[in-house]
Amino acid sequence: MGRVISTGNEELDARLGGGIPIPIMLLIEGGHGIGKSILALQVAYGALNSGLRVVYVTSEATVKSFLDQAKRVSLDVSRFYLRGLLRIYPVHIEGLRWSKGTASRLLPHIASYLMNTMNTWDAVVLDSFSVLASYADMDRVLDFSTKLKIVSANADKLVVLTAHTGALPENLMLRLRSICDGLILLKAAEIGGISVKVMEIAKLRGARGPVDQVTAFDVDPAFGIKLLPITLARG
């Protein structure tokens, strides 16, 4: 049996059946601005505090802005970065126009790096995988995903992918969801006239305890993921 690590958020751990099970390949999917990056950061924060070495590939921030954002939501990871336990790789450069040919080679380069350095990391976050995969053909995306799944299972790794809903072809997303061990869907909803964010834990293989499948939450600028005391039924 694998192990379970805390996310660093006790309420979230309880909803996840005790924390994040490892090994796991976890897909966090949702619309723009719904909280995918913050949730991925929360998982990475828990991994770092559990002694794991983390590689974080971000398509939305520079190293400085990533560290600043993490600090603003009380998930300060700068000490891990300074100690070399967290490696941050931005793949978006302001003002740079990528050709489709250049962008299509991005995923194979990342795959090569992760496979060749497998003994130097315990967890990897690809935020956002849909951006990284947008110019790659389906076979290449599925090959990359399958390799990560095999590495996760055989080498006791934590792999987290975030994906924008609708950014990749649905037939590709269906196969990606099936490959992953865990799937968390983030959505917007209205309850009693109040707009809230909803976290649906569609699957979480290896969970130690009961999983709350549907949970209302918000992104607190000073706290990160904040679960709301609203009872929801899975639709």
Domain locations in the chain as residue ranges: 3-227
Could you read off the pLDDT of 167-203 as tens digits, one per residue? 999 999 999 999 999 999 999 988 778 888 999 999 9
Nearest to 31 by CA among 184, 173, 140, 187: 187
117 versus 94: which is more confidently predicted?
A: 117
Please check the confidence at residue 46 and state whether its pLDDT lies above 90.
yes
DSSP for residue 18? S
Please check the confidence at residue 223 and state whether its pLDDT lies above 60.
yes
Q: How many residues does the chain have?
A: 235
Average pLDDT (201-218) is 92
pTM: 0.93
The domain defined by 3-227 folds into Rossmann fold (3.40.50)
Could you read off the pLDDT of 78-113 as tens digits, one per residue? 999 999 999 999 986 444 555 566 666 788 889 889
pLDDT at 102: 64
Query: In which band, very low, low, confident or very high, does the pLDDT at 53 lie, cut at 50, 70 and 90?
Result: very high
Query: For 82-223, where are the E strands, in sequence order?
Result: 86-90, 123-127, 158-164, 182-191, 194-204, 214-220
pLDDT at 57: 96
Beta-sheet pairing, 24-30 with 54-58? unpaired
pLDDT at 128: 87
pLDDT at 61: 87
